Amino acid sequence: MFEGRAEEALTRYVSTIPDSQTLLIERYGADGPGVEGTLSRGEAVLAGQRVRLFDSPGHHEFTFTPAFSFFITVDTEDEVDRIADALGVGGSFLMPAGNYGFSRRFAWINDEFGLSWQINAE
């Protein structure tokens, strides 16, 4: 649940994450309940996982937390770096891309929208 930037996030995720595609985009109309033109329902497949995103029709006092994150496994270290760099723009790195012993290449990012991502090379 986003507050006005769900479609922007969806576009970034689909263009960055391998095996991803947008399935559905629906927007709020002039009669609400959300801000006209914002995402009332977006569906996508991100790395093979079907997800739904939308813009909340009202402000809320909570946001995303790293207690939940998408965990994506890719084939190469370069792919970890590419995805981490793209998702890290405007966000923050909880664990910059590196070898942490449990993985040859791993990164943990909170993106600019507040969503948490763990990217791992098999």
- pLDDT tens string for the chain (122 positions)? 999 999 999 999 999 999 999 999 999 999 989 999 999 999 999 999 999 999 999 998 888 888 999 999 999 999 999 999 999 999 999 999 999 999 999 999 999 999 999 999 98
pTM exceeds cut of 0.75: yes
Q: Backbone phi, then psi, for 83, in 5-degree steps?
A: -70, -45
- The confidence score (pLDDT) of residue 63 equals 86
- The confidence score (pLDDT) of residue 25 equals 98
Is 46 strand, coil or helix?
strand
- Name the token pair of 14: 């689909």
- The confidence score (pLDDT) of residue 32 equals 85
Could you give the CA distance from residue 6 to residue 43 in angstroms, rounded to a whole number?
11
Tell me the CATH number for domain 69-121: 3.30.720.110
Q: What count of Cα atoms within 13 Å lies in the side-chain half-sphere of residue 6?
A: 28
6-53 CATH, one of 1.10.390.10, 3.40.1180.10, 3.30.720.100, 3.90.105.10: 3.30.720.100
